[in-house]
Amino acid sequence: MNSVRRAKARDIPAILDLLVQVDMVHHNGRPDLFKGPATKYSAEELEAILADEETPVFVCTNGQDRVLGHGFCIMQHSGGQLLEEHTTLYIDDICVDGAARGQGVGRALYEHILSYARKRGAYNVTLNVWTCNPGAMAFYEKLGLVPYKVGMEKIL
């Protein structure tokens, strides 16, 4: 049975493997921007991220505690002269191991993240998705997420 929990230092090798998978999806879609294969964090950086309450990382594991996917999050606080004050849980990354896709891992991670955000008093949950990753876009739309701003570019 799959379960979701807070990531631990012992999960770092599996998380690094998943980060390479994420990078390669982006590299294949936008090789002009993403190097491949690479990871966005080193093992040392992951240790610091895992220790920080403002950057929770969750993993979905199977019955043998094998990591099937991860969800990186960042607590963000906004407000000021222009914007209303809100706490947002930003989902920096959700990745499901290629061999575990279609088994509900992504949904389990997302639902756990939503529950965590509610417990922390967040107003909303946000994320960014690259247009070169239509599978992720369809997945997030299926979960009920809707666009709230759009980034645009012109390559020179």
Residue 111 maps to a domain: yes
In a domain, 150, yes or no: no
pLDDT of residue 37: 94
| 101 within some domain | yes
Q: At what angle do helices 43-51 and 12-29 cross, to 10 degrees?
A: 110
Tell me the residue type at 121: G
* φ, ψ (nearest 5 deg) of residue 36: -150, 155
Query: Mind listing the pLDDT tens digit for each residue in 65-93?
Result: 999 999 999 999 998 889 899 999 999 99
Amino acid type, 153: E
State the Cα–Cα distance between residues 62 and 64, nearest whole angstrom.
5
- What is the model's pTM? 0.94
CATH, residue 42: 3.40.630.30
Q: For the chain, how many structural domains are there in total?
A: 1
Name the residue with tokens 């770092």. 12
Scored b (16 or more CB within 10 A) or e, 53-76 reads: eeebbbbbbeeeeebbbbbbbbbe
What is the C-alpha separation between 69 and 94, in angstroms, rounded? 7
Does residue 152 form part of some domain?
no
Instruction: Return averaged pLDDT per consecutive 10 residues of the chain, 156 residues in all.
Output: 96 98 96 94 97 97 96 95 93 96 96 98 96 94 94 94
Specify the pLDDT at position 83: 87
Q: Does residue 135 lie within any of the structural domains?
A: yes
- Flag whether 59 is in a domain: yes
Cα distance between residue 46 and residue 8, in whole Å: 10
| Helix or strand (DSSP H, E) at 77 | strand 67-78
148 within domain boundaries: no
Amino acid identity at 12? I
Q: 45 is in which domain, residue-wise?
A: 3-142
Angle of CA points 47, 29, 107, to nearest 5°: 55
